[in-house]
Structure 1
Amino acid sequence: MSIVCLRGDTELNEQDLRAHLVAMLRLENTAVLLGAGASVPSGGMTIMQLWKQFIRDHADTAKRFADGGFIAQEDAVLASFEAANPRNLPNIEALLDQLEMAKLDWTRRLASSRNLKIFKKDIEALLKCVVKAAVLDANAWGKPPAYDRFPYHVKLLQRLVGARQPGQASPWVFTTNYDLAVEWAAESIGIHTHTGFVGIHNRTFSPQSFDLGYRNINAKGEARFGCNDIYLAKLHGSLTWQCTDGEYRELASSEVWPKLKAIIDGVDAVDETLMVFPRAAKYLQTVGFLSGELFRRFSDFLAKPQSCIILAGYSFGDDHINRLLRSALLNPTLQIIAFLPEFMGTEPAELAGLKPEVRRLLALKSPRLTFVGGGEAAYFNHMVDLLPDPMLYDLNEQEFRERIKAMSGGDDAE
């Protein structure tokens, strides 16, 4: 399937898009925002797939959520998601937050209620489905990271880092995913990842670490500021985060895997200390501190001059992120490139299947907004392949080498 690309109100072909990406990754500040779709090639699920799986495996639970007013009645019926273009999916984080608040209120009023016990088990069922989707590859846990398990994440990081020029800031990776695909990919190829946590044996959250960077002390001149690191902000949490006694720690995958495996296998309930999900009971600690700090970093990036952010696997289902992206358009030097498979064009019938937020952004016809669609052509793996390889950046040097080669009779001259 061919690419459908629109920058403002101008259509771009694949060659134009590649040229645009080359220019954008040369800006002073670059970032990607990865949604659930970015983890699908690595074994994850889209929100659509996750919700369908939940309804299929826990039909009674979904019906009780609908009867309780937590989701719409049609969201509890599998058949409604077999339609050609269903886009109004429940927001999983918002739903979990509402369920948590209801559980707290119910516990306060009717702690011994039998229905409360059923309700808690229903929440457990949804949490376990999310954990299963975020595990990705069970064989990757507790073992040295292998680059061939996450090839597209590896290629993404290599091309983001390779695009940085001496003196430019390291790229940011923002993600709504709980999985470890980015961390494992970076570690497998020796790219350092700043996650906000510092320490060796006791990694605690220290947001000031986002203001630090790496440099080669043996290099001379501008080369000292070459890039070999990324900044990673996991906006919705991570499978390896833990909160105990008000302290936030990042655990090693080998340490957390036994707990996650017990949850998936149904041996244990979801560990309440794991910071996998938003919890209304811990609002001040989680949203007010850790998540709040990460979203502040996201907002700060969008306000930086000469910046570009590429959206991949993100379906515009998070109202908080949507508001930040929309308000960021007030930054006159920000460029947003959104890879959205369901975007097929601007005809009324094609727009009807898109979310209201996407239609609103398309209506702006801003040259700083580029939408790339066309079904599979806009999937995460195809997006990564469209990014320019680092060796293609310095065209002047390439031309210079070709001239030297011609002058020397065809032999390479170094």
Structure 2
Amino acid sequence: MKAKKWSEHVYRVGSEEHLNVQNPDDDKNIELQKKHIEPWLAAVFQSEHLSLLLGSGFTKAVADQAGTSAADMACDYNAFPLDDKLKDAAQNAAETMARGEANIEDQIRVASSLAQGLKILGDDRHTKINIALDALFKRFLNGISKTERDLKSAVEKCAAPEPADAEPAAREEASEKLDPLVMLVSFLLSFSSRTATRERLHIFTTNYDRLIEYGADLAGLHLLDRFVGCLEPIFRSSRLDIDMHYNPPGIRGEPRYLEGVVRLTKLHGSLDWVYRNGFVRKVGLTFGPQDDHPAINDQPSDSVMIYPNSAKDRETSEYPYVELFRDYAAAVCRPNSVLVTYGYGFGDEHINRTIADMLTIPSTHLVIISFGDEGERISSFCKQVGRKAQISLLIGPHFGNMPTLVENYLPKPAIDRITIRQTELLRNRGWEPAAHKNEEEER
């Protein structure tokens, strides 16, 4: 049977499949789509095990709403010896993983391999490559820092009271646009507001910035990761599944699970990770540090723990890479597990293979939310795994737009619980909800 071609806007939830959605921004269509999508996601998010995989599209979505831009991922070969060879190798690596144009991650990985090879051969050009690599790393880290600064400034501006002398036109424009602070917090709470007795939400990300941590602070979420300590937490290999509980007032010996607890794993490392004295540490780096911050030194490639995307499994065996990917595989590859991806372009073969392995378990489910199908990587992946019933789709500029997603399609668990109780109360009193009455009248 020939697979149907996807259009720009696609959604598939449960038994509803629409691969050629026309005018999804129309108010009537949004209401119809919401009836299909929101209840389905609400049910899926309360599954036994829930994981969320966030790619670079997550930061870009928040940055776009805040009127800023995400860090530039473009390559820069100007200061590198053998720049033509590096460019060809990086491009071949990108094409091998069906990602189109090479980015800075490909360049860093290829340049590091070249420097190591030249050093083994005794070629002095490895020194020049390392110097150029440090400069490239520094520019990349400064770009991430600038993104964090801009996002922080935009969010703090939204939290500040509006000046009394603001122009009416500016007020109206601001009121029509969803506040990036509200959007970020609502997005995270839609996934993390699970019943406390269920398995904690586990967030995985390939991003190096700390936008998730920043949003969790704003939302009042408690993050659990592999780092142990207070001043400079150290990455530990032990997996103790530490959790948070509390004792209700007046009750002793019966601790209850604390709500709003989330596990976080950063698969490619983070801006605030450093390797020092044999340990991977998380340093005290403010959100949006200045370019001259002492934690980001003149040789960041030797100290800042950032791992470019893994093209070969041997690269993922390096510490602490192996621990991060073990957590990822252990969290998603188990029965009754749901993985939701947002802003992830399916350009990392190792991550994709783990998702494919997860789908071999019949009770698992994958929800893909994306602004687009760049390079047809998502559609190719879905065709390759061939498990249509286990994959839900929300693809396109409408469904992948975070403000639209938050306002219309993502469930709001706190409201859901109140609505359920209200419906039960009205039914017990013999009063049918208005929506139910309208449906009966239409019949």
TM-score between both structures, scaled by the size of structure 1: 0.76
Instruction: Please name the residue that 2:85 is paired with.
Output: 67
1:296-315 → structure 2 map (5 Å cutoff): 296-315=326-345
Answering whether residue 379 of structure 2 is matched by residue 358 of structure 1, we say yes
Answering whether residue 98 of structure 2 is matched by residue 106 of structure 1, we say no
Instruction: Please name the residue that 1:254 is paired with.
Output: 286
Answering whether residue 3 of structure 2 is matched by residue 4 of structure 1, we say no
Contact 2:246 2:258 in 1 (8 A): yes
Specify whether residues 93 and 2 from structure 1 end up closer, same or farther in structure 2 by C-alpha distance, changes over 3 A only: closer
Answering whether residue 270 of structure 2 is matched by residue 238 of structure 1, we say yes
Letter aligned with residue 137 of structure 1: E
Instruction: Please name the residue that 2:424 is paired with.
Output: 400
Question: Residue 45 of structure 1: CA displacement?
Answer: 6.2
Answering whether residue 43 of structure 2 is matched by residue 23 of structure 1, we say yes
Higher helix share: 1
Instruction: Please name the residue that 2:174 is paired with.
Output: none
Contact 2:93 2:106 in 1 (8 A): no
1:4-403 → structure 2 map (5 Å cutoff): 4-7=10-13, 10-11=16-17, 13-43=33-63, 50-51=73-74, 54=75, 58=76, 60=78, 64-68=82-86, 69-72=88-91, 88-90=100-102, 92-110=104-122, 112-113=124-125, 116-135=126-145, 136-138=147-149, 150-162=181-193, 164-208=194-238, 211-218=241-248, 224-254=256-286, 257=289, 261=293, 268-270=298-300, 272-278=302-308, 287-343=317-373, 353-355=375-377, 358-362=379-383, 364-385=386-407, 386-394=409-417, 395-402=419-426
Specify whether residues 322 and 61 from structure 1 end up closer, same or farther in structure 2 by C-alpha distance, changes over 3 A only: farther
How many residues in Structure 1 have an aligned counterpart in Structure 2? 375
2:289 match: secondary structure: helix
2:325 match: secondary structure: helix
Contact 2:371 2:401 in 1 (8 A): yes
* Cα distance in 2 between the residues matched to 1:73 and 1:289: 26
* Cα distance in 2 between the residues matched to 1:319 and 1:286: 12
Contact 2:366 2:392 in 1 (8 A): yes
Contact 1:210 1:231 in 2 (8 A): no
* Cα distance in 2 between the residues matched to 1:147 and 1:405: 43
Letter aligned with residue 72 of structure 1: Q
Contact 2:9 2:396 in 1 (8 A): yes
Question: Residue 261 of structure 1: CA displacement?
Answer: 4.7
Structure 1 unaligned blocks of 5 or more: 76-85, 344-351, 408-414
Query: Which sits farther off after the overlay, 365-374 or 27-36?
Result: 365-374
> What per-residue deviation string (whole Å, max 9, x for no partner) do you get for residues 233-260 of structure 1?
0000000011112111111223993566
> What per-residue deviation string (whole Å, max 9, x for no partner) do you get for residues 91-126 of structure 1?
65454223212112213434544xx45433442343
Contact 1:337 1:371 in 2 (8 A): yes
Question: Residue 28 of structure 1: CA displacement?
Answer: 1.1
1:327 match: secondary structure: helix
Letter aligned with residue 312 of structure 1: Y
Question: Residue 272 of structure 1: CA displacement?
Answer: 1.6
Letter aligned with residue 11 of structure 2: C
